[in-house]
Chains A and B, each alone.
Chain A
């Protein structure tokens, strides 16, 4: 069951929370809407579920226009951040709720509940009350409840937001497995880029109600089209440059222009270098041997992030903000950097963005 949005907009009073969003999510796809809090991502999800009426635009579920339908008639499974399990009902009754509304026979309801309890690995918890479960278990029950009546699509609003890091990682692995096994089309809303990278088939980046970019996780990370996406997904070093002919000029340095960037020719651009794509060398000669050299700089800070070393280097010409660089244990041992040391920087991979 595919999900299609056509020019969907929504405002609360004078504040526009969703701006002219168009999107197509394929059957069986897990699509992640990624944005900061207040970006409009949850509102968009609620519009799809029918919990909010759209101001303009159309919503289609498997090519059927559901824009005017109530949430009850849309048949979407919705998982809320705070689980929203019915506290006075047992886990089994929670899971069976959607089935009981649809007047499914009791024996059939029981069988479905058992099947889902197995699926979420909570076989013996059917008789318990939600308050007797941990947060992670409650969220699994919420997922089972949303899946029980075999909804057309599954909508998850920051489903792991209230859980600790370890449980979150486990749950998203099991969510991905369940979603793939059932082949259900899903949209998951999150502000957590790691979560998005981990489970998404495709990611949509949303900011101020606008769907800025849609793409596969690696494509969005390596070749974003906007500086917002570049900086929102991971750490980004953005260098002001100009593309002329076949070269990109950054201050005194110049690099070969990446292919397919002719449309940016003659324009001021930004060069995106991810921290792990910048090579640090003690001498110019070494830097030349590794990659395209962008200049010399001074080490401003060194810190450890687990097994990696984070280094900031300010280019000597002072034209840019300090560059964020990540070094592997091998590189950091070999270089043995000290603060104030002069180093040469080369880039292994880079990407051009229009100057926004």
Chain B
């Protein structure tokens, strides 16, 4: 298609529309939150972050997210490996299954956990509680971000010719050594990218978590469920402050992702 001259009226309107659209959807809400946070000065913000329940909620979010990322990194890697390097009946079905968390509304995932592990559920636990406790939050966090690592690694693994590993085998390297010294360096950037995406997804998860956690203050409350409660309780500064913190985290994640993407392009 012929490119419009940047000084022409249609181009001006088009560019203006895109800038306005992006601004309305992304910049203005962020500025509103920022304004809401600092509207009453720094004191209420400091008070918010000194509040034990807020600190606990942030800690729960962070710790459970880190565990969910670790689990997804490991299983995502194994899943990608199995899908690319093995041929078996049902492989295509499994491949399609991986994307389910992308298309599922997250409260449904939370509801499924409630039905399975809640009182009277098929897998109702006897030793320790799952729902309205940390395990359920962890489970749904793992579920919602399941595809990222797999989907990032899969194309890189597919592009890696099998000769590459076979060369290492003929040189005497065991399967594990080959994976560690030959395959892992090749997929490292994709793995990191998948991990960062997973973290971004799990730290901000609200729908499924609010269903399974019960948002018990000082126990199962996470950063996102705290924001919800704070806004409901008209604690605007509290809600805005934690929101800004999550936003800053998102910007950092965005920068890291951009850096990784450039690194991946450089490697090609």
Contact = CB atoms under 8 A, between A and B. Distances in A.
B161 A101 contact: no
A51 B186 contact: no
B177 to A, nearest CB: 7
B172 A84 contact: no
A213 to B, nearest CB: 28
Contacts of B43: none
B166 A97 contact: no
A72 B165 CA distance: 12
B170 A49 contact: yes
Nearest to B171: A98
Given A84-B161, A87-B186, A101-B177, A78 B172 contact: no
A97 B173 contact: yes
Given A78-B167, A82-B161, A86-B164, A72 B173 contact: yes
A279 B88 CA distance: 61
B157 to A, nearest CB: 14
Interface string A30-50: 000000000000000000011
B61 to A, nearest CB: 35
Contacts of B166: 51, 71, 78, 80, 84
Interface string B218-245: 0000000000000000000000000000
Interface residues of A, number: 24
Contact of A72 (B163, B169, B182): B169
Nearest to A98: B171
The dominant DSSP class at the B interface is helix
Contacts of B181: 97
Contact of A71 (B163, B170, B186): B170
Nearest to B164: A84
A50 B166 CA distance: 10
A97 B161 CA distance: 18
B170 A77 contact: yes
A82 B163 contact: yes
Contacts, number: 56
Interface string A168-197: 000000000000000000000000000000
Interface string B146-174: 00000000000000010110111111111
Interface residues of B, number: 17
Contact of A76 (B161, B163, B170, B186): B170
A128 B111 CA distance: 56
A51 B171 contact: no
A346 B174 CA distance: 63
Contacts of A101: 171-173, 177
A77 B166 CA distance: 11
B182 A51 contact: no
Given A80-B163, A80-B167, A84-B164, A149 B172 contact: yes
Contacts of B29: none
A79 to B, nearest CB: 9
B170 A86 contact: no
Contacts of A75: 172
B161, B164, B170, B173: residue with the most chain A Cβ atoms closer than 10 Å? B170
A149 B182 CA distance: 18
B225 to A, nearest CB: 43
Contacts of B125: none
A87 B172 CA distance: 18
Contacts of A49: 170
A156 B3 CA distance: 52
A230 to B, nearest CB: 34
A333 interface: no
Nearest to B172: A101
Given A82-B161, A84-B164, A51 B172 contact: no
B185 interface: yes
A131 to B, nearest CB: 10
Contacts of B174: 72
Contacts of B161: 82, 84
B183 to A, nearest CB: 10
Interface of B: 161, 163-164, 166-174, 177, 181-182, 185-186
21 contacts: A50-B169, A50-B170, A51-B169, A51-B170, A70-B169, A71-B166, A72-B169, A72-B170, A76-B170, A78-B170, A80-B166, A84-B167, A86-B164, A87-B186, A88-B185, A97-B168, A97-B181, A101-B171, A101-B172, A102-B172, A146-B171
Given A86-B167, A98-B172, 13 more contacts: A49-B170, A51-B169, A70-B169, A74-B170, A84-B161, A84-B163, A86-B168, A88-B185, A97-B171, A97-B173, A97-B181, A98-B171, A146-B170
